């Protein structure tokens, strides 16, 4: 029998337990200890990252609601309509139960946006897995994609974009980050606050079961044999119940009955009650006997910590309780008045006629511990950053290299995944998956739209987290620009290992600094997000993975472009310049088996100017397509534009350095565009005025990609062969166990 102290079993440290004793002036009972454990977990309290997050710029002319609420809200100039958005991680649940872990991640992020009074209009996902030659990885990949599609399709919200990468570092610990975007009229903006003593606390949604108890603490621990043995049951989602819940809650808010609303997500009733009360500077008293329950004999501990899905806590103006219940009944959504807002700033929980818990709300929330752990540059970083290009042989057949890169699972077309998603439901999708660098979704009743993207490159952060953090923001924003959007706000998921390891914390700190610098330079404040730490398996951390979600404003929905070359005899050009950089590249990893070197440099001022020229050119109708150069470099970007457009291209390039660096290096701040010959002078004038390099590369046409470098043919690959490599790679890997 285990003799482990109860607080340690719940994930609390000895010093944290001593702090609880000081705050309460007594020993907590089991229910109270469980409440502290979940709200003081890393997942809820951000105790190792809170100080770092203060570095992010959070204010901007478009920001209406910044960090601290369920989702950020921005004004995109669409009249009365505001945009709410956030991203969230569901890594640990997806590692142990991929379908339900991913599905409930989608359900949770939908409710975060709903809690602001917004109707969800779009979902995106950012996924990370190990190599597809591993049977378990294929199981996880298939299950996660099915979970995202099953829930998003079922609830009727389109999954319009995202990105997927594969790396051995995620073999045991996949990452599932999801982003939701919603629209709301300004008058419907709602906060997660409990205010007004005497107002009612109403439970709205599905009944409570025993699923997910201590899910928040499980999400704050590393995976391994010990945690696998004590993992909680992963909640199961019901998208049809969520759909009814969305409609009921939006009607309640529209009717003016709602003071505040909060999702019962991580930590369930405990977090929703404590956090809304803390924001309102008051308290809440609830009676658990009134909570709808789907399992018999549940005790107070189980009810307070359950993470059953499709539940909202609604603070309702006194006297309107019956109207609220009537609306819920009409939508087929269970509801129950379970408590009252009180002036005393405590969370008081009654059960079976007794006080089961009574804790000051600030003790659970703002008085949670905050750590500033030691940070130490990894001892082997310089060794990993060292790269002597003279020791890297240039392949003789660069066309074969291009095909191998196109077939690399990280580069290959992701239609195997996104065709399982309904990206068109709701009728607002203008550019969906696979058509452009970012998704574009219309704002009803206006000419405006939002351009949406999630992105991140862990390899860059492994080798230089400061630069990697900057590039994560810059590339996601660049993708939004390539579709015709002006980036105005950012959300993020910071996926890292244990912050108690100085080398991991140093990496996190550097990445946050890099992201902050890029946000400041590009004018994209952070409105909120999520931190997911302790992503480790048996002590080995995942690659450091900051994921950035960007929302951009499209002024005129007709002024958007895709990534594919739309026809023959168009000029192909490059905004930006190419340097001899191969460090941290997909080329170096796939072709030479090396993950080393410095990632490409990033000049934030040049990045800003390149984005501005591209956006202006799109809005003036000067370019017919735009595609960012990223994984695989220039040759892969041009090949993808050929494949999506269904037309070949002939390029004639000059370069003073290595040909493989020209074709496959990942120099930043570069965008491949196509345009009519007659529009060249106007584009050249825009580029010259901004001091942005502009290079004519060649023309579209034919059924092959032919690239000459310094007068000699370097690549000659047919569209058919490229298509087989790019479109065939993922289906072949999933069908045959990793072969392509």
Residue 650 CB: number of other CB atoms within 10 A?
Answer: 17
Decide if pLDDT at 459 tops 50.
yes
- Measured CA distances, 374 to 466, 467, 531 (Å): 17, 21, 18
CA gap 329, 567 in Å, rounded: 55
| Rounded to 5°, angle at Cα 290 from 287 and 296 | 110
How many domains are contained in the chain?
2
Decide if pLDDT at 102 tops 70.
yes
> Is the CB of residue 206 less than 8 Å from the CB of residue 240?
no
Q: Strand, coil or helix: what is 565?
A: coil
Mean pLDDT of the 519-543 span: 97
Is residue 518, in this structure, part of any structural domain at all?
no
- Measured CA distances, 95 to 130, 136, 173 (Å): 12, 10, 6
What does the pLDDT read at residue 218?
A: 47
Point out the domain boundary residue: 297, 329, 364: 364
Instruction: Return the residue matching tokens 């989702």.
Output: 71
Decide if pLDDT at 699 tops 60.
yes
The number of residues making up the chain comes to 740
Residue 377 CB: number of other CB atoms within 10 A?
Answer: 13
Instruction: Return the residue matching tokens 């359900």.
Output: 107
Local confidence band at 19 (pLDDT 50, 70, 90 cut-offs)? very high
Better-predicted residue by pLDDT, 666 or 212: 666
Token reading at 228: 């696998």
What does the pLDDT read at residue 222?
A: 55
What does the pLDDT read at residue 265?
A: 83
Tell me, rounded to whole angstroms, the distance of Cα 480 from its chain centroid. Answer: 15
**DSSP codes, 191-209:** -S---STT-EEEEEESPB-
Is residue 260, in this structure, part of any structural domain at all?
yes
Is residue 372, in this structure, part of any structural domain at all?
no
> Is the CB of residue 220 less than 8 Å from the CB of residue 49?
no
What does the pLDDT read at residue 170?
A: 98
- Measured CA distances, 532 to 87, 219, 544 (Å): 11, 8, 11
Tell me, rounded to whole angstroms, the distance of Cα 175 from its chain centroid. Answer: 10
> Is the CB of residue 287 less than 8 Å from the CB of residue 338?
yes
Decide if pLDDT at 682 tops 80.
yes
Instruction: Return the residue matching tokens 């796939």.
Output: 590
What does the pLDDT read at residue 224?
A: 54
CA gap 526, 523 in Å, rounded: 10
Q: Encode pLDDT of 26-68 as tens digits.
A: 999 999 999 999 999 999 999 999 999 999 999 999 999 999 9
Give Rg (Cα) of the chain.
26
Q: Strand, coil or helix: what is 34?
A: helix
In CATH, what number is assigned to the domain containing residue 684? 3.90.650.10
CA gap 110, 596 in Å, rounded: 39
What does the pLDDT read at residue 348?
A: 98
Phi, psi of 394 (to 5 degrees): -85, 125
Half-sphere exposure of 459 (CA within 13 A, CB side): 24
Is residue 46, in this structure, part of any structural domain at all?
yes
Tell me, rounded to whole angstroms, the distance of Cα 183 from its chain centroid. Answer: 18
pLDDT over 90, % of the chain: 94
What does the pLDDT read at residue 740?
A: 39
Q: Which domain holds residue 719?
A: 561-740
Point out the domain boundary residue: 364, 386, 415: 364
Decide if pLDDT at 611 tops 70.
yes
Q: Encode pLDDT of 540-596 as tens digits.
A: 999 999 999 999 999 999 999 999 999 999 999 999 999 999 999 999 999 999 999
pLDDT over 70, % of the chain: 96
> Is the CB of residue 437 less than 8 Å from the CB of residue 627?
yes
Instruction: Return the residue matching tokens 């695989």.
Output: 632
What does the pLDDT read at residue 213?
A: 78
Which residues, at least 6 apart from 257, have a Cβ–Cβ distance to it below 8 Å?
Answer: 316, 317, 320, 323, 324
Mean pLDDT of the 97-116 span: 97
DSSP-derived secondary structure letter, 116? T
Q: Encode pLDDT of 129-164 as tens digits.
A: 999 999 999 999 999 999 999 999 999 999 999 999
Is residue 505, in this structure, part of any structural domain at all?
no
Token reading at 14: 């000895």
- Known catalytic residues are 43, 90
Token reading at 298: 């549940």
Is residue 489, in this structure, part of any structural domain at all?
no
Mean pLDDT of the 608-624 span: 98
Q: In what order do the strands lie in the sheet with 63-65?
A: 63-65, 72-78, 81-89, 175-185, 119-129, 159-166
Decide if pLDDT at 69 tops 80.
yes
Q: Encode pLDDT of 289-332 as tens digits.
A: 999 999 999 999 999 999 999 999 999 999 999 999 999 999 99
User: What does the longest C-alpha to C-alpha distance in the chain come to?
Assistant: 87
Average pLDDT of the residues of the chain: 95
Decide if pLDDT at 737 tops 70.
no
CA gap 620, 375 in Å, rounded: 48
Mean pLDDT of the 101-106 span: 96
What does the pLDDT read at residue 153?
A: 97
Is residue 655, in this structure, part of any structural domain at all?
yes
Point out the domain boundary residue: 332, 364, 396: 364
Decide if pLDDT at 230 tops 50.
no
Decide if pLDDT at 509 tops 70.
yes
Mean pLDDT of the 335-343 span: 98
Is residue 666, in this structure, part of any structural domain at all?
yes
> Is the CB of residue 668 less than 8 Å from the CB of residue 474?
yes
Residue 626, strand partner residues: 673
What does the pLDDT read at residue 3?
A: 67
Token reading at 223: 């995976």
Of 285, 288, 287, 289, nearest in space to 341 by CA: 285
What does the pLDDT read at residue 553?
A: 98
């Amino acid at each position: 029998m285990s003799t482990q102290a109860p607080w340690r079993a719940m994930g609390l440290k000895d010093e944290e337990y001593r702090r609880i004793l000081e705050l309460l002036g007594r020993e907590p009972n089991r229910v109270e200890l469980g409440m502290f454990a979940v709200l003081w977990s890393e997942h809820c309290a951000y105790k190792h990252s809170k100080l770092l997050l203060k570095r992010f710029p959070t204010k901007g002319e478009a920001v209406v609601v910044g960090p601290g609420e369920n989702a950020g809200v921005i004004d995109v100039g669409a009249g009365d309509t505001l945009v709410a958005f956030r991203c969230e991680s569901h890594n640990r649940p997806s590692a142990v139960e991929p379908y339900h872990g991913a599905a409930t991640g989608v359900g949770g992020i939908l409710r975060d946006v709903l809690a602001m009074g917004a109707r969800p209009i779009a979902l995106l996902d950012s996924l990370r897995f190990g190599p597809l030659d591993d049977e378990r990885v294929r199981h996880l990949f298939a299950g996660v994609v099915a979970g995202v599609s099953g829930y998003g399709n079922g609830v009727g919200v389109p999954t319009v974009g995202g990105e997927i990468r594969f790396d051995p570092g995620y073999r045991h610990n996949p990452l599932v980050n999801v982003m939701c975007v919603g629209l709301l009229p300004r008058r419907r903006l709602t906060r997660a606050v409990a205010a007004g003593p005497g107002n009612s606390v109403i439970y709205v949604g599905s009944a409570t079961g025993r699923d997910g108890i201590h899910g928040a603490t499980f999400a704050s621990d590393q995976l391994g044999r010990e945690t696998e043995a004590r993992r909680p049951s992963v909640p199961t989602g019901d998208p049809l119940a969520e759909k009814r819940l969305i409609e009921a809650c939006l009607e309640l808010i529209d009717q003016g009955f709602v003071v505040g609303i909060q999702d019962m997500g991580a930590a369930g009733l405990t977090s929703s009650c404590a956090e809304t009360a803390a924001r309102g500077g008051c308290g809440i008293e609830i009676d658990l006997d009134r909570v709808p329950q789907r399992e018999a004999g549940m005790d107070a501990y189980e009810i307070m910590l359950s993470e059953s899905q499709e539940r909202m806590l609604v603070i309702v103006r006194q006297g309107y309780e019956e109207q609220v219940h009537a609306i819920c009944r009409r939508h087929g959504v269970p509801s129950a008045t379970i408590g009252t807002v009180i002036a005393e700033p405590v969370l008081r929980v009654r059960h079976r006629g007794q006080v089961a818990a009574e804790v000051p709300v600030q003790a659970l929330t703002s008085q949670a511990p905050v750590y500033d752990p030691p940070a130490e540059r990894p001892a082997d970083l310089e060794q990993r950053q060292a790269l002597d290009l003279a020791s890297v042989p240039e392949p003789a057949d660069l066309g074969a290299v291009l095909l191998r890169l196109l077939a690399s699972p990280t580069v290959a077309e992701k239609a195997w995944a996104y065709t399982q998603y309904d990206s068109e439901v709701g009728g607002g999708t203008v550019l969906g998956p696979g058509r452009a660098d970012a998704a574009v979704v219309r704002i009803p009743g206006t000419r405006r739209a939002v351009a949406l993207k999630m992105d991140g490159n862990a390899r860059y952060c492994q080798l230089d987290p400061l630069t990697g953090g900057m590039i994560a923001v810059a590339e996601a924003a660049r993708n939004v620009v390539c579709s015709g959007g002006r980036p105005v706000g950012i959300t993020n998921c910071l996926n890292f290992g244990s912050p108690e390891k100085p080398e991991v914390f140093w990496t996190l700190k550097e990445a946050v600094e890099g992201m902050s610098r890029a946000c400041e330079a590009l004018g994209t404040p952070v409105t909120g997000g999520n931190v997911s730490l302790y992503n480790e398996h048996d002590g080995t951390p995942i690659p450091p993975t900051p994921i950035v979600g960007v929302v951009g404003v499209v002024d005129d929905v007709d002024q958007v472009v895709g990534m594919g070359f739309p026809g023959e005899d168009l000029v192909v050009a490059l905004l930006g310049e190419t340097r001899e950089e191969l460090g941290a590249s997909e080329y170096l990893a796939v072709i030479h088996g090396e993950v080393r070197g410095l990632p490409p440099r990033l000049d934030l001022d040049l990045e800003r100017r390149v984005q501005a020229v591209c956006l202006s050119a799109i809005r003036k109708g000067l370019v017919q397509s735009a595609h960012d150069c990223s994984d695989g470099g220039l040759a892969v970007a041009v090949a993808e534009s050929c494949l999506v457009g269904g037309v070949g291209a002939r390029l004639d390039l000059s370069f003073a350095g290595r040909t493989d660096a020209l074709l496959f290096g990942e120099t930043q701040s570069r965008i491949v565009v196509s345009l009519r010959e007659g529009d060249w002078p106007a584009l050249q004038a825009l580029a010259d005025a901004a001091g942005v390099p502009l290079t004519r590369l060649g023309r579209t046409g034919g059924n092959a990609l032919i690239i000459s470098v310094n007068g000699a043919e370097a690549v000659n690959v047919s569209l058919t062969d490229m298509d087989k490599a790019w479109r065939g790679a993922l289906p072949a890997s999933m069908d045959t166990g990793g072969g392509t």
